[in-house]
Amino acid sequence: MPDLHADVAVLAPLLGTWTGRGSGDYPTIDSFDYTEEITFGHVGKPFLSYSQRTKSVDDGRPLHAETGYLRVPSPGHVEWILAHPTGITEILEGTLTVVDGALVMELAATVIGRSASAKDVSALGRSFRLLGDTLTYTVRMGAVGQPLQHHLSATLHRKPS
């Protein structure tokens, strides 16, 4: 495997596969629980690759997936480019800091693209915190006439390699 590009060296603690459990709610849907697997990888270029898959805790059916790339265009700044199979794309930008030993990313969507058949998503935000082998996140969403608000949260643990 090639060396990690210097521009994303600060993201090295994310590399690998993470698994865990999360929950979701939103005013227009029933609350739900899910299991999740996320993988961060690299090919020596100035980005990390990202893939995510979730399944229902109830019956194991697939729920959601997304794929994309993380970039660090300047110190303390992070960009996350995502595509969803539901016809949504996100460009998120925000801060990358270390707080009490934890890697913290606070991101907000600067662009949300959607196909003609995708639901109306007007705002997205994500918060990530990585400390040791524990990764936690929340996702905020404004969609289908609802304001930006909590939608998802999960706690994941690094899968042994």
The per-residue pLDDT for 30 is 95
> Is 5 annotated for ligand binding?
no
pLDDT at residue 108, as a whole number? 98
Question: Which residues is 140 bridged to in the sheet?
Answer: 125, 150
Residues 41-86 have pLDDT tens digits of 999 999 999 999 999 999 999 999 999 999 999 999 999 999 999 9
151 marked as part of a ligand binding site: yes
54 marked ligand binding residue: no
- pLDDT, residue 100, reads 94
What are the structural domain ranges in the chain? 6-158
**31 vs 24, 44, 50, 103, 152, CA distance in Å?**
6, 40, 26, 29, 10
Encode pLDDT of 27-46 as tens digits. Answer: 999 999 999 999 999 999 99
Task: Give residue-wise pLDDT tens across range 91-128.
Answer: 999 999 999 999 999 999 999 999 999 999 999 999 99
Asked if residue 1 has pLDDT above 80, the reply is no
pLDDT per residue over 127-137, tens digit each? Answer: 999 999 999 99
Q: What is the 3-state secondary structure (H, E, C) of the chain?
A: CCCCCHHHHHHHHHCEEEEEEEEEEECCEEEEEEEEEEEEECCCCCCEEEEEEEEECCCCCEEEEEEEEEEEEECCEEEEEEECCCCEEEEEEEEEEEECCEEEEEEEEEEEEECCCCCCEEEEEEEEEEECCEEEEEEEEEECCCCCEEEEEEEEEECCC
Which listed CATH number (3.30.565.10, 2.60.40.1760, 2.40.128.20, 1.10.3720.10) goes with 6-158?
A: 2.40.128.20
